[in-house]
Amino acid sequence: MKPIKILLIVLGFVVFSIALIILITRAIVSPPASWWWTLGLFFFYILIGIIVALVFLIKKVLKQKPEELKIDLNGAEAYAKNKLLYDDDNPDNFIRVDRILKRVGEPGASVTDRTPILWLIGKGSETNQKIDILINLKNTKEEILFLYDKREEFIKEVIRTFAENPAEVVETQIIPGLDDFGRPQNKIIQRKMSSSQKKEEDKTEEGKVANAF
């Protein structure tokens, strides 16, 4: 409901209440009631109105759904096809075979917090080359990636890192060593970390290398 309509309803309620109170206490009741009764009833109705308004607002806030990103799949696809068609290095006419919408993010994140990635699967009509197009639908005009002749596992990994808040990654570290009998034995250590933790560690390592020089 628009604010102007709410304001008109409130003003109408107030005017109606005042008129009804004055009519009852000053005209219908004989002899006319004291002005204290008039003011008392007036404030009573105002209090009831405030309580009703608060209940209405609380219910509206509780029912309010989080604002969802408006996604235009057809528009994003058309923009990407046009960009590929007029690409300076490798122009081609994209023929779509399949289209997948993926929402990528950290485990437990809500749908609106996950990054919507549009995955276009197809090929070029001129070169017959396999082409996969990845589009970040939160920034359709800027974040478009064209992948040529890539395996599905590689594309899925790119999709994971292409998101704003990628899911946790598994880091594997192999430490060479010897077993109890002196034979070579590698120790494998795996640990999970979020994308933000991984980026922080990478920055720390880069800083150490830079300071070393």
Residue-wise pLDDT for 106-120, tens only, equals 665 556 667 889 999
Lowest-pLDDT choice from 22-31, 55-64, 67-76, 171-180: 171-180
The pLDDT of residue 23 is: 76
The pLDDT of residue 55 is: 83
Assign 64 a pLDDT band (cuts: 50, 70, 90): low
Assign 135 a pLDDT band (cuts: 50, 70, 90): very high
DSSP labels for the chain?
--HHHHHHHHHHHHHHHHHHHHIIIIIISSSPPPHHHHHHHHHHHHHHHHHHHHHHHHHHHHHPPPPPPP--HHHHHHHHHHHHHT-SSS---EEEEEEEEEEE-STT--TTTSEEEEEEEEEETTT--EEEEEEETTSTTT-EEEEES--HHHHHHHHHHHSSSPPPEEEEEEEEEE-TTS-EEEEEEEEEE-HHHHHHHHHHHHHHHHHH-
